[in-house]
Structure 1
Amino acid sequence: MLSLRFLSPTTLRRVRNWLFVGTVLASGTAVGPWTSLAHAADDESASLDALERQMARIQAEQRELQKTMLSMQKQIAAHRAALTHGGKAGTPTTSGHHVLTARNAAIAPGTENTLHSGEPETGISFGGDTTTAMDTHAGHGVRHASDGSIQPVFSGANEKPEVDAVIGHRAEDIISRIAENGVGPHARETAGAQAAGALGDHGVFHMGPVTLILGGFLDASTVLENRHIASGTFNYWQAMPYPNESRYHTNNFEGSARYSRISLMARGNVDAHSTISGFYEMDFGAGADTTDAYESNSYAFRMRQLYLAYDNSDLNFHFLAGQAWSMLTPGRIGIIPRQESLPETIESSMLAGQTWARQLQFRFVKDFLQHRLWLGLSIENSATLYDTTGFTDNAGAVTLPNGKTATISSNGTGLTNDAPFSNEIAPDVIAKVAWDPSWGHYEAEGILHFPHDRVASVGEGRNHTAIAGGGGGSMVLPVVPHKVEVRLAGLAGVGIGRYGSVLLPDATLKSTGEPVPIPSVQATGGVIAHPNPLIDVYGYFGYQAAGRRYSNYGDGSYGYGNPNYSNAGCEVELSTLGCTANTRSVMEATIGAWYRFFKGKYGTVEAGAQLAYSRRDAWKGQGGAPDTSMSQIFLDFRYLPFQ
């Protein structure tokens, strides 16, 4: 049995006193409440008051006793460290572990004993503080806090080693300290974190070895714009009208709560080094056939994200399977789910030129150099967005000028809806490298895509596959760490237009039917400031453009951006002349702010305002190169019950 000679006389005296208090609490004082209740019929009010005072006194005594026990555990831990390690932190124990390794040294100062997320991870809680196990030795362990003091580590009831590295915990407030790049994660309550799928810090529940964490918000947003585009706060820039349409000449107001969101994560520790988690995020952004904009506004429930993740802190390996933000989406630290670098804008389509998709993927990630260098490979669901201007397109069966038919897509059948699903031969292959030095976050990425179709006539046919792809990158520059940051991102290539918010086409067809990838480029830049914990201010500029790919056959003109197309009627309202106007580029400039005016145990209530200006330019055709623009004012109120 461990000797207590090293304990100070003051500590021993406190222990003796509180052991006496504990004996009294277990015997005499415990009878008090029941005695009071027995006389409740005579004086119910006085008895209840006395009971409350007695409970408060017992709770205060329990807190003092817990503090004394924690002090004893610290002294025991320090004594063990002196005996086992000769007083040297970081020395390997007999089991091969370290007191403090580079892998788990990433916990930020001030968070050693308390997880900011509000959820107790592995460990034992005293007075609201949670001590997280970093290493074990004979069922106990030690670690050094930022002030150099010894901190005790408690193992579980079964004397099994606890999780020993922060990356396995999947808690955003801790995982940000892995690289210490000056950027950190999204602060949970910010709009950028909400867009990425931030978890709550209030809605945390424990069901045996599994932790359940709630997230999401109730949203009421509106937009006032000087053009009529029936897409609400989701900007569909390709529908921005030219002056030939009456929609160009009228303002439009629309509001909805359809983008309210709920998320749920289930997480459990498989062993001392690995964690498995499942994440489900959904909203009401889908419009069903029964949606009635005049009465019920009954929008459909839809899946935003749904995936499982496995993280192993011993191998520094991470795996994700399911629907999540594409790995092409810019991030802000490592290659980590729910840490995507997304704009704080109110508009649901985020920003023109923003690189993103949410789709099925199988992602494999390995990190090196104490979590500073990250390599990722993702196999993701493919979908080619075709432009068939000039052709006759019958639900994906495109009639060619030579009389043959090119099949590029088919409408959904069975349990899928009637929307067209492109004919794909292989998934998209995406690779990314991320670097987190001591200042900033930097990424480089590449993608391969394979547009595919079949050209046939009666009795014969042939398949055609093109090779498309591109590359790009992003960076987050913490000009004033955690106060002001600059974000830059871009992607360029051929056949990858759908990965931008504007949804420019990936490919068109030759007159003979073979798929032709269309060149595209997209870029965004922004400045985001957090002057205090309640206010976020932002300004962004985004740009996306598509090149020309066209052909002529006989008297016919085909493809994207063909200069033979007529644009003669684009400037006259209700003109009967043509206005093909294939989009050449879209730009957007926007500024906005969020203010969290209520924040407490009940959650967070915030309001946002955004001003946006967009411009759409068309490829030149017969009659010129028309352009159009749009100005918008967005307003939003959100209640985040779990933040």
Structure 2
Amino acid sequence: MGTVLASGPLLLCLGAPAMAAGDEASLDALEQQIARIQSEQKALQKALVSVQKQIAAHRSVAHAGGAAAHHGLAAHQLASLDAADHEAGIAVHSADHEEEAGVHHLVGGRFHTGGPDAQPVFGGADDTPTVESVVGHRAEDVISRLAENGVGPHSRETAGAQAAGALGDHGVFHLGPVTLILGGFLDASAVESNRHTASGTFNFWQATPFRNEPRYHTDNFEGSARYSRLSLMARGNIDSYSTISGVFEMDFGAGADTTDAYESNSYAFRMRQAYLAYDNSKENFHFLAGQAWSMLTPGRVGIIPRQESLPETIESSMLAGQTWARQLQFRFVKDFLNHRLWTGLSIENSATLYSTGSFSNGTSDGQVIIPGGQTVTVGSSGVGLTNDALFPNEIAPDVIGKIAWDPHWGHYEVEGILHFPHDRVSTLGSGQNHTAVGGGGGGSMILPVIPHKVEVRLAGLAGYGIGRYGSVLLPDATLKANGAPSPLFSLQGTAGIIAHPNPLIDVYGYFGYQQAGRSYFSEGGQAYGYGNPAYNNTGCYTELSGNCAAGSNIHSVMEATIGAWYRFFKGRYGTVEAGVQLAYSRIHAWDGNGGAPDTSLSELFMDFRYLPFQ
């Protein structure tokens, strides 16, 4: 068929009259013939792909119990690859996509594409297609072979996908064997709250005022474009089985000493993510090195970057009780059973968050004086190219392990972490190091109630010394009477339901909770530690009273929120969307002398966002 279709236009070319020099009519006729040939070639390519899909569909039905199951795809899914492309997140070029992505060509008897999207690969032992690459509705969210779990990679272009570091499917450039992919968005967000927290759309719940502070009694409006984001991904195929990629992601979320909130609002450029990833689909091995979302962060499919399960909130701190961090790590992942069982080990940067406010300050930052007079060093201020933030003493990195399971319905994870708080207790002429052992475990699940339309998300983490992995940033540890670290119990969890009633609208609702334990002692009539019942809370209900220790002894934070996104422009120029979110938080302090005070925070978030690469 290809010979007949191609030879007809070719004979026309050969039979064209000889052109005299300057014969414009002949040149025009030849150009028209070239255009017709190109058009017929495109039609032939579309026809070939369509025929191959039909053959694959029929054969996959015949082998439904064998080969199709082996590749993790049901027979009816193979028969409707085009329809599943958008809804299930498995990107297979349809005829409409072929013109945009590039011309297909035969390599070794298999169809490939010049563009970055995944392709069905034909020519196996039984001629059934495998999926060479699977993407989260965007061509660069590539990981070789993922099992269909009803949840899948990010199948929609949501704020949550962008928060997870996903990139768009526009802005793709090819430099030799390397593909460069631009991502990010321009963001204009604002919040109206019933308390003055001065933190913008990023909630720092521990700074929420109690009734003794004037800020408790004033409303606040604040808006900014500082969370606009820019990302760049470079990806190259080493061979037919392995891919290497590098990701940079930045925004303007940092505040420098020169930030001027009255005039220029010049927030500082900051690094969100910067990592390299290597994926080998033959050995089913995956490696990541650099700064990325911690492996403790819940995922959507497998254990891979850019598929983290994060709430779609406008709120930049995401949600109270959400487990996450972005930090340096070296991650090793292996998958089994046709990409349904995943195991991962990650060595990640450690940063113990101490509560030492009840102790006297030492001679330098990071030092406190315990009742016996010894100096305890828990960290040091940054020097050189770092800023003045406190960098804690750390004897070892955090060690994180995770197992993920992707059956045909849902995504399920269990995880564990080991953490080692470390300090030094000194007297004149001598000293002693102390190391504690902390850690814990948890898990998450995504239940696709209506696959790719409605899903329920549940996640939780509990243990000792791991409070900083929750959005509230409750402390990891305080000090014992001898100055040794005392890891605090930590509990955090989230639950949410997310609906996509149509391609233009996302609706969500979440509940989050996080709490910290207590560790304290008293000596010489003074109270020390965290959550001490002898702390003075008598003035927490009286404006301008200074007798309120509640703010530095938070017991728990609860947040309930609902919101929606609406995409009112969408095309080759990108996507423009608007979002609105209502949030209510309740903060409870540990009980002390004067009771257990609490406070609350009500917020209305608004956002306009332009995603030029989606």
Bin the TM-score by the shorter chain. 0.7 to 0.9
Q: 1:73 to 1:492 in 2, by over 3 A?
A: closer
CA distance, structure 2, for counterparts of residue 127 and residue 361 of structure 1: 40
**1:393 Cα deviation from its structure 2 partner:** 2.8
CA distance, structure 1, for counterparts of residue 443 and residue 51 of structure 2: 51
Q: Deviations over 1:337-362 (max 9, x none)?
A: 00000000001000000000000000
CA distance, structure 1, for counterparts of residue 313 and residue 53 of structure 2: 49
CA distance, structure 2, for counterparts of residue 114 and residue 88 of structure 1: 17
Matched, 1:589 2:560: yes
CA distance, structure 1, for counterparts of residue 47 and residue 254 of structure 2: 56
DSSP-derived class of the 2:301 partner: coil
Q: 1:446 to 1:350 in 2, by over 3 A?
A: same
Matched, 1:335 2:303: yes
Q: Deviations over 1:17-63 (max 9, x none)?
A: 22224446897699876988xxxxxxxxxxxxxx7x99687535411
The corresponding residue for 1:256 is: 224
The corresponding residue for 1:226 is: 194
Matched, 1:399 2:369: yes
The corresponding residue for 2:530 is: 560
Task: Name the stretch that deviates more: 241-250 or 64-73.
Answer: 64-73
Give the letter for the 2:401 counterpart: A
The corresponding residue for 2:240 is: 272
The corresponding residue for 1:165 is: 132
Q: What is the TM-score when the length of structure 2 is the normalising length? A: 0.87
Give the letter for the 1:141 counterpart: R
Q: 1:404 to 1:66 in 2, by over 3 A?
A: same
The corresponding residue for 2:587 is: 616
Match of 1:247 among 191, 201, 215: 215
Q: Give runs of aligned pairs for residues 238-637 of structure 1, distance below 5 A.
A: 238-394=206-362, 395-581=365-551, 582-637=553-608
Contact 1:326 1:357 in 2 (8 A): yes
CA distance, structure 2, for counterparts of residue 474 and residue 120 of structure 1: 29
**1:470 Cα deviation from its structure 2 partner:** 0.4
Query: Any stretches of 5+ residues in structure 1 without a counterpart?
Result: 1-6, 37-50, 91-97, 144-149, 155-162
The corresponding residue for 2:109 is: 140
Contact 2:72 2:147 in 1 (8 A): no
CA distance, structure 1, for counterparts of residue 482 and residue 16 of structure 2: 90
Q: Deviations over 1:247-305 (max 9, x none)?
A: 00000000000000010000001112110000000000000111000000000000000
**1:575 Cα deviation from its structure 2 partner:** 1.3
Q: Deviations over 1:339-393 (max 9, x none)?
A: 0000000010000000000000000000000000000000000000000132013
CA distance, structure 2, for counterparts of residue 465 and residue 442 of structure 1: 34
Q: 1:172 to 1:23 in 2, by over 3 A?
A: same
Matched, 1:236 2:204: yes
CA distance, structure 2, for counterparts of residue 309 and residue 299 of structure 1: 30
DSSP-derived class of the 1:537 partner: strand
CA distance, structure 2, for counterparts of residue 492 and residue 88 of structure 1: 46
DSSP-derived class of the 1:382 partner: coil
The corresponding residue for 2:10 is: 19
Contact 1:119 1:204 in 2 (8 A): no
**1:71 Cα deviation from its structure 2 partner:** 5.5
The corresponding residue for 1:64 is: 40
Q: 1:580 to 1:115 in 2, by over 3 A?
A: closer
- Percent identity of equivalent pairs: 65
CA-based RMSD: 3.6
**1:563 Cα deviation from its structure 2 partner:** 0.4
Q: What is the TM-score when the length of structure 1 is the normalising length? A: 0.84
Q: 1:119 to 1:573 in 2, by over 3 A?
A: same
**1:185 Cα deviation from its structure 2 partner:** 1.6
Give the letter for the 1:456 counterpart: S
CA distance, structure 2, for counterparts of residue 76 and residue 548 of structure 1: 65
Q: 1:607 to 1:245 in 2, by over 3 A?
A: same
CA distance, structure 1, for counterparts of residue 545 and residue 245 of structure 2: 57
CA distance, structure 2, for counterparts of residue 411 and residue 353 of structure 1: 28
DSSP-derived class of the 1:166 partner: coil
Q: 1:88 to 1:114 in 2, by over 3 A?
A: closer
Q: Give runs of aligned pairs for residues 28-47 of structure 1, distance below 5 A.
A: none
Contact 1:168 1:274 in 2 (8 A): no
Contact 1:232 1:254 in 2 (8 A): yes
CA distance, structure 2, for counterparts of residue 363 and residue 25 of structure 1: 63
Q: 1:151 to 1:189 in 2, by over 3 A?
A: closer
Q: 1:23 to 1:451 in 2, by over 3 A?
A: farther
CA distance, structure 1, for counterparts of residue 10 and residue 377 of structure 2: 82
Give the letter for the 1:599 counterpart: K
Alignment length (residue pairs) = 587
Contact 1:614 1:630 in 2 (8 A): yes
**1:87 Cα deviation from its structure 2 partner:** 13
CA distance, structure 1, for counterparts of residue 18 and residue 265 of structure 2: 63
Q: 1:591 to 1:21 in 2, by over 3 A?
A: farther
Contact 1:620 1:626 in 2 (8 A): yes
Q: Deviations over 1:393-435 (max 9, x none)?
A: 3411111111110100100001000000000000000000000
**1:620 Cα deviation from its structure 2 partner:** 0.5
DSSP-derived class of the 1:18 partner: helix
Query: Any stretches of 5+ residues in structure 2 without a counterpart?
Result: 113-118, 124-129
